[in-house]
Amino acid sequence: MPLSVHNRLIFAKSIAVERTGRHCPCNHGYIYYKYDNARKNKNLPGLTSHALRSIRFMSLLLCSSAPKKSLGSQNYRRSFSDTATVEEFVMDTKARGGALYRATATAVQGSIVLWVCLLLPTGIDRAYGQSNYYKGKTMTYIVGLLAGDSNDLWSRAVTRNMVKHIPGQPNIVVQNMPGAGGLTAANYIYGVAKPDGLTLGSVSAGHYFHQIAGRKEAQFDWRKFTWIGSSSPHEYLFVMRADAPYKSIDDIRAASQPPKCSSTAPGSASFMTLKMLEEGLGLKFNIVTGYRGGGEQDLAIERGEVQCRPITTAAYLGRSPMPDWVKKGFLRVLVQTPRRRNPKLPEVATVHEYMDRFRIAERNRRVALVLLGTDNFGNFPSASTPGIAADRAKMLREAYVKALKEPDFLEEAKKRSWDVDPIGADELERLAKEVIDQPADITERIKQLFAGN
């Protein structure tokens, strides 16, 4: 890749040779090749400090091979203490002796040409190529539940708007991968998808309990997901068919026959919500698992297969058939999980209010609060494969945040009664590390809950 003399001098100047004016007793000159200003040069975008150090080193190495030329009493050599600008040094050495000038200039120019050629794939390509990495590519967003569930609806709304803010504007395909309450999808994102930044998805926050309990089904380390972002803090409701004999939490506590409630799978958010209510409020449920998503659980309630289920506030307020069922009086909300009552459901008491009222033992309360920790991850946390390039993770995180501000998305959020209060990737990373480290007694109790004890 030939460079003109003019461009080589510009490049060399940005690497720099400065003059201090100090000389040793034998009048040797000193040259120091610097690179501090290279990053400011418009012709050198994206060069890393490592690359610039390499230029500096090779320039010194090649220049040191130039023959020393004695010019009267002046004998020049290269060192690290005396510097000059390229023009000053070249003109100075040219005046003192053409041989030294030619040797030095040739070495400097040769090293520059060599390293420009070598660094083009890493320096400039990193600056410009990465910004176009997603151009022409197709991304996959994995959803662990059925199409039409609130998780699915959210995912499709977010990805439609994320693509507007990912450089290169790739295609994004939403793929539903129901199974084990979303655990199949989480395992796929973590361990099957390539760490190339082209696969991400929505993972259920309750899955980290699999890891705490040491269950082999969880083929991931919750702390190592590349977290992208989430919506507003997670909130669950516990709903009951209005014609069931359980009209209140007190009725369930006093019942000799526990109500039959649905869930997707052990470890899912709905399952852990039921376990939290058992632990924190002294309730007992007959839990029926195996449903692949909210839609199948809706049918189970409608058909009378079960009488109750946990459901997110977002789903209850925002997707069919819930609004119609509420109007018809088909369902009754008995309790909600947030610390304060949701303004849209002011008449429904919280778990915390009931724990105070029932004077729940401290040990049980502590376990219940740990189980409620999933709420902090938000309604629909998004994550990608561990180990993707930092610049790609940054692009995806920024695109996610911007997507939640798009008018198109906000309009749909209003229509579906979604609360939009984003939780950033940094907060999700912190939480992911925090929730895994639990005291031994809490860990043992969670294992017991998974075992059904």
- For residue 67, the model assigns a pLDDT of 42
Tokens of 204: 């259920």
Whether the Cβ atoms of residue 236 and residue 311 lie closer than 8 Å to each other: yes
DSSP label at 202?
E
Q: Mind listing the pLDDT tens digit for each residue in 397-431?
A: 999 999 999 999 999 999 988 889 899 999 999 99
Domains and CATH numbers, the chain: 5-130 (no CATH), 138-233+379-443 (3.40.190.150), 236-376 (3.40.190.10)
Whether the Cβ atoms of residue 34 and residue 49 lie closer than 8 Å to each other: no
Mean pLDDT of 166-193: 96
Mean pLDDT of 41-59: 44
Q: What percent of the chain has pLDDT over 70?
A: 71
pTM > 0.85: yes or no: no
Mean pLDDT of 120-138: 66
Residue with tokens 């390509």: 125
Tokens of 39: 């990053």
Pure H helices in 191-264? 208-212, 249-254
Residue 340: phi and psi, rounded to 5, are -115, 150
pLDDT band at 128 (very low <50, low <70, confident <90, very high): very low
- For residue 266, the model assigns a pLDDT of 86
Whether the Cβ atoms of residue 266 and residue 206 lie closer than 8 Å to each other: no
Tokens of 43: 């012709």
Mean pLDDT of 7-21: 37
Give the number of other CB atoms < 10 A from CB of residue 407.
8
d(CA 112, CA 91): 19
pLDDT band at 130 (very low <50, low <70, confident <90, very high): low
Where is pLDDT greater, at 13 or 119?
A: 119
Position 181 pLDDT exceeds 70: yes
Q: Mind listing the pLDDT tens digit for each residue in 16-44?
A: 333 333 333 333 333 333 333 444 444 44
Mean pLDDT of 170-174: 97
Q: What is the phi-psi region of residue 452: left when phi exceeds 0, alpha when psi lies from -120 to 50, beta otherwise?
A: left
Position 348 pLDDT exceeds 50: yes
Mean pLDDT of 97-119: 46
Taking CA atoms, 253 is separated from 45, 146, 329, 359, in Å, by 68, 33, 23, 14
pLDDT band at 142 (very low <50, low <70, confident <90, very high): very high
- For residue 5, the model assigns a pLDDT of 41
Instruction: List b or e across 104-142, with b for residues whose CB sees 16 or more CB atoms inside 10 angstroms.
Output: bbebbbbbbbebbeebeebbbebeeebeebbeebebbbb
Mean pLDDT of 125-153: 84
Find the range with the poorest average confidence among 30-39, 87-96, 326-335, 345-354: 30-39
- For residue 131, the model assigns a pLDDT of 64
Q: What is the DSSP string of 144-200?
A: SS-TTSHHHHHHHHHHHHHGGGSTT--EEEEEE---GGGHHHHHIIIIIS-SSSSEE
Listed residue (311, 416, 422) closest to 377, CA to CA = 422
- For residue 268, the model assigns a pLDDT of 85
